[in-house]
Amino acid sequence: MTTETLGFRHRFEPGSNAALPPLLLLHGTGGDENDLLPLGQAVAPGAALLSPRGQVLEHGMPRFFRRLAEGVFDEEDLRRQTDALADFVLAAREAYQLPAPVALGFSNGANIAAAVLLQRPGVLRGAALLRPMVPFQSPPPAKLEGTPVLVLSGAADPIVPAENSARLSRLLEQAGADVTHRVLPGGHGLTQMDLGLVKSWLAAL
C-alpha cells in the first residue's frame, strides 16, 4: 500500500509475524519507497515493513536530506529532516499500531538512520546501517544504552572512507549503543554477504 499520509509518501506492508520488530526501510540517493522492500522481505520474512521516500530532491533524485558536495552534508537541513522522519515514525506507529521499528538503511538512508539515533534517541529500537557515514560534525549528546546497531562497511568503498565508518561506530558506542561493525570485501554496493549478516543480526535481536 502506497500512501501520501503522515508527512511522507511511503509504503506499508503489514507483517505476518507479530513477534518480529517492524523494519523502517530507508533508501539511498535516487531510490524511493519501493527500493528496499525486497531486501526487507529477504532479511526478515514476516516482519511489517515501513518504507518512506526521502523528501529532498538532488537533480531529481530523492534523498533524505540535502548535501553541499559528496560527503559534505547540509547539517541544518539534516537536523530538520531528521526531526521530520522521527515524527513520521511516531505517527506511523500510532496509525499502524506498531512497536518501535528497527531501521534498515543504505547509504543516504543509513546516514539519516544514524542521525535519528543520535538526535532522537528512543524512536528506533535499533538500526542496521549499510555503508553509513558520520552524519554530524558536532553530534548531539545521545543516550543509547543497549540499543543494537549493525554497521556494515565496504573495504573498497569509494564514497565512505574506512576511517569515517569506524568513527561512527565509536561515536555510537560512546553513546552506549551495542555496536557490531564489520568491514566487508567490496565497495559501496550491497552483496549477498550484507544480506546474510543483516538477517543473522536481526534474528538475534
Active site residues: 107, 157, 188
Task: Tell how strand 10-13 and strand 2-3 pair up.
Answer: antiparallel
8 Å CB contact between 203 and 47: no
In the chain, at which residue ranges do the beta strands (DSSP E only) sit?
2-3, 10-13, 23-26, 49-52, 56-58, 61-63, 67-69, 72-73, 102-106, 126-130, 148-154, 178-184
Does the CA dihedral 148-7-52-17 come out positive or negative? positive
Instruction: Choose among 142, 136, 198: nearest CA to 164.
Output: 136
Nearest 5°: phi and psi at 47? -80, 150
